[in-house]
Amino acid sequence: MSRTAPAGADRAPVLALREVNKSFGSVRALRGVHLDLYAGETHALAGENGAGKSTLIKILAGVHTPDGGTVLLDGSPAVFHGPAAARDAGIAVIYQEPTLFGDLSIAENIFMGRQPRRFMGRIDHTAVREATAALMDRLGVDLHPDRAARGLSIADQQIVEIAKALSFDARVLIMDEPTAALTGSETARLFAVVEALRAEGAAVLFISHRLGEIFELCTRVTTLRDGRLVASESLAGLTEDDLVRRMVGRELGELYPKQETRTGEVALTVHRLTREGVFRDISFEVHKGEIVALAGLVGAGRSEVAQAVFGVDRPDAGEVRVAGKALRPGSPTAAMGAGLALVPEDRRQRGLVMEASIERNIGLTGLGSLGRGGLVRRAAERARAGDWGLKLRLKYDRLSDSVSVLSGGNQQKVVLAKWLATRPTVLIVDEPTRGIDVGTKAEVHRLLTSLAAEGLAILMVSSDLPEVLGMADRVLVMHEGRLVSEIPRDRADEETVMAAATGRAHQPAAPAGQLQPQPPEVPHPPGRPPGPQQSPGSQQPPEPGRPPGSQQPPGPEGSPGPKGGAA
């Protein structure tokens, strides 16, 4: 294990961890972990879900205090009593899910607890607003300081979080999967900001499941596995495969284990489905044994179509037929009865009862069949959960543990188990592997393809282009609420799908402009042409919801220049 510090780093690291331990009950989240963060470097933190990354971040953020070991700030031991102490030490954390006050304005969100004050401790509202406007200008975005945080896109929420970090001249910026919900252009804008901050001398700790981004943005990487430090090294000379091997600790099997299947009769028919202002005139079919991907940019209406099909939202027009029989619109109960299952995009909010146990969650969809005389039989519930846990290789301590203690990947398996236990004929999965580590991702893919081989019809909504290309028999592409293209597996590649998704179906793909082309995050499945080496999003225009002013790409004018001076 080599430890390569960036040039001129004979100084002490800004922030460091020495022999840090942390346990939650019987779970040892971190064991003897070291970390060195130097000023002016972008440092990646890699590891599968459950490897201890979140715990490490929360220790740096002052949310958790370590059980053993020390946190060094500028070389001297520091103890953070709470998040405010870490913030006052110049540490800014941008969490995976933005933590904003929806009811309060952007300006208040940025300066909460630190508002500039006038005589007698009164908040200087004008100064707050002006400072916010200045931050927004510096970030090159057009967000009004008085606008409330509720209703902002995830990307804009991230921007507000970054503005918060800028506002107190953070010396250390920690980002936990900031790009999970961003489009390509938004990611590029974010990276430009981060790069400018780093150039000004900030230390950046960056976490992403997209390995391509790690290689694009970072100079060094620290890898964790099962709470232990695997390696802390320079990224130069490493390949993605090396990194994956360190994270997983074993050779990674095929990430897209697509089986060739024979498709059967039509299982799901969607006919001219319309929901005013969201999507229009959507028609398609899914056959038994087929995986159909619904691709498109964020905001194109894909998830909304999936929800309307399942009856969560009532469509204004059109119909859904399952095995030829029309489905009562707007009724998830009817949809379930007809053999539909929906694994939603947001598993924490919509897929799981976070406080309830694993067995209770898996049992939720079968309360009728597990019950007798209106009472649920615990034994049957437990048996069902045990069964499916085994089939899906769920990692858990006890079935009675609350699902909130599971890692993201295992939570997703619980959601899948819950729905597969209903023995559906059509499975709709919305972003099945978002925020899931590589190892579990491959398992989910293997599961999906074997389910299809057994005759299940699968409709998969996904923003992960390699996943779409690797798993789907057919790709349906949506653009601004309409179905614009249907591409069979043998003709689907990144270029055709992206061209359709960006509404340029009849033109050749435009060059990527000022954005850095990045390598695809995962190898293509064998037997497929590698396609142009471009990330899914790098050609996208901004999402349709943004006002025209925000479309400027991060260029010399819009992006924060080094003159900004963060330190």
Partner 1 sequence: MSTTAPPRTATRSEPEPTGRTAAETVLRVREYSIGGALVLLILVTWLANPSFLDQQGIKDLLLNSSILVLLATGQSVVVLTRNIDLSVGSVVGLTAFACGSFVSGTDHGPVALVLLGIALGAGCGLVSGALVSFGRVPALVVTLGMLYVIQGVDHAWAHGEQINAATVPDDILTLGSGSFLGIPYLPLISALVLAGTGYFLRTYRSGRELYAIGSNPEAARLAGIPIRRRVLTAYAFSGAVAGFAGALWLARFGTVVADAANGWELTVVSAVVVGGVAITGGVGTVWGAALGALLLTTIGSALVVLKVSSFWEQAITGALLLAAISTDRVVRSRSTRALRKRRRQ
Q: Which residues contact 502 (CB under 8 A, 6 or more apart)?
A: 297, 479, 539, 540, 541
Q: What mask, x for binding partner 1 by CB under 8 A, covers residues 114 to 133?
A: -x-x---xxx-x-----x--
3-class SS of residue 551:
helix
561 forms part of the interface with partner 1 (CB under 8 A): yes
CA atoms within 13 A on the CB side of 224: 28
Cα separation, 114 vs 109, whole angstroms: 10
Among the listed residues 44, 61, 193, 247, the single contact to partner 1 using CB under 8 A:
61
Q: Please, what is the minimum distance in Å from the beta carbon of residue 137 to partner 1?
A: 5
User: Which residues, listed in sequence order, are joined to residue 497 by a DSSP beta bridge?
Assistant: none
Segment holding 22, helix H or strand E: strand 15-24
Closer CB to partner 1, 230 or 300, in the complex: 300
The three-point CA angle 134-140-144 to 5° equals 60
Closer CB to partner 1, 131 or 243, in the complex: 131
Closer CB to partner 1, 68 or 151, in the complex: 151
Contact predicate 521/211, CB 8 Å? yes
Tokens of 254: 């095929």
Q: Using CB under 8 A, which of the segments 109-117, 350-358, 487-495, 520-528 binds partner 1? A: 109-117
Among the listed residues 30, 92, 93, 248, the single contact to partner 1 using CB under 8 A:
93
Q: Using CB under 8 A, which of the segments 77-85, 331-339, 356-364, 494-502 binds partner 1? A: 77-85
545 forms part of the interface with partner 1 (CB under 8 A): yes
Q: Which of residues 157-176 bind partner 1 (CB under 8 A)?
A: 167, 169
Closer CB to partner 1, 55 or 449, in the complex: 55
Q: Using CB under 8 A, which of the segments 100-108, 207-215, 401-409, 422-430 binds partner 1? A: 100-108
Cα separation, 429 vs 460, whole angstroms: 5
Binding-residue total with partner 1 (CB under 8 A): 60
277 forms part of the interface with partner 1 (CB under 8 A): yes
101 forms part of the interface with partner 1 (CB under 8 A): yes
349 forms part of the interface with partner 1 (CB under 8 A): no
Contact predicate 459/292, CB 8 Å? yes
Q: CA dist 267 to 30, 31, 194, 277, 485, Å?
A: 47, 50, 47, 28, 21
Cα separation, 106 vs 434, whole angstroms: 27
150 forms part of the interface with partner 1 (CB under 8 A): yes
90 forms part of the interface with partner 1 (CB under 8 A): no
Residue 159, phi then psi, degrees to nearest 5: -60, -40
Q: Using CB under 8 A, which of the segments 80-88, 177-185, 255-263, 416-424 binds partner 1? A: 80-88
Closer CB to partner 1, 143 or 472, in the complex: 143
384 forms part of the interface with partner 1 (CB under 8 A): no
Tokens of 249: 């600790």
Q: Where are the alpha helices (DSSP H) in 231-313?
A: 240-248, 302-310
Q: Using CB under 8 A, which of the segments 145-153, 223-231, 373-381, 409-417 binds partner 1? A: 145-153
CA atoms within 13 A on the CB side of 47: 27
User: Which residues, listed in sequence order, are joined to residue 483 by a DSSP beta bridge?
Assistant: 478
Closer CB to partner 1, 128 or 421, in the complex: 128
Contact predicate 317/277, CB 8 Å? no
Binding site residues, partner 1, CB under 8 A: 61-63, 82-85, 87, 93, 95, 99-105, 108, 112-113, 115, 117, 121-123, 125, 131, 134-135, 137-138, 140, 142-144, 146-148, 150-151, 167, 169, 277-278, 299, 480-481, 544-545, 547-550, 552, 557-558, 561, 563-565
